[in-house]
Amino acid sequence: MTWSERLAELGLELPGVAAPLAAYVPAVRSGSHVYTSGQLPFVDGVLAATGKVGAEVSPEEAKGYARTSALNALAAVHALVGIDSVTRIVKVVGFVASADGFTGQPAVVNGASELFGEVFGDAGVHARSAVGVAELPIGSPVEVELIVEVQ
């Protein structure tokens, strides 16, 4: 089964690639790896939420936004090389705009990690960082970036 078929089986569609907010591109290939820029939880071109996790945004909501950001990152990969050329997810970096005292960043970024497991199975097992930050672009609660290996 191809990754495209697996996405369809899960009832998932890759969205259109979000337009960059500054001077960068959504993804770049170097050799057998694709590096994505940080992806925010845009849905139909609109940021799904703003605010800090642990204050305006609940950890459960933020986990969903991390999943949305991960789908946006996959869309950037797909637009560059095609999703079916992915051989494995190598690394995920998740940034969480965190209220003072919030320490649940790993659980929030699980929204992205779990998606990759659902879609890619063993090829979705990856190294990861989950980082709490004071602010993210345009007030986003989460941001996700990827490194993937491709054929």
Mean pLDDT (whole number) for 2-19: 95
Q: Is 112 a member of any domain?
A: yes
Tell me what the mean pLDDT of segment 27-50 comes to.
97
The yes-or-no verdict on residue 151 having pLDDT over 90 is yes
Section 63-92 average pLDDT: 98
In a domain? residue 40: yes
Which residue would you say has higher pLDDT here, 18 or 63? 63
Q: Binning pLDDT at 50, 70 and 90, where does residue 18 land?
A: confident
Position 23 in a domain: no
Work out the average pLDDT over 65-81: 98
Which residue type is seen at 32?
A: S
Please report whether residue 94 resides in a domain: yes
Domain that holds residue 126: 3-16+28-150
Question: Which tens digit of pLDDT belongs to each residue from 87-136?
Answer: 999 999 999 999 999 999 999 999 999 999 999 999 999 999 999 999 99
* Residue 56 belongs to domain with CATH number: 3.30.1330.40
Exposed e or buried b for every residue in 71-98, given b needs 16+ CB within 10 A? bbbbbbbbebbebebbeebbebbbbbbb
- Asked if residue 75 belongs to a domain, the reply is yes
91, amino acid identity: K
Global pTM exceeds 0.95: yes
Q: Is 137 within a domain? A: yes
Domain total of the chain: 1
Residue 26 to residue 42: CA distance in whole angstroms: 13
DSSP state of 92: E
pLDDT of residue 51: 98
pLDDT at 83: 97
Indicate the average pLDDT of the chain.
Answer: 97
Specify if 22 maps to a domain: no
User: Residue 21 pLDDT more than 90?
Assistant: no
Rounded-to-integer distance, Cα 11 and Cα 106, Å:
26
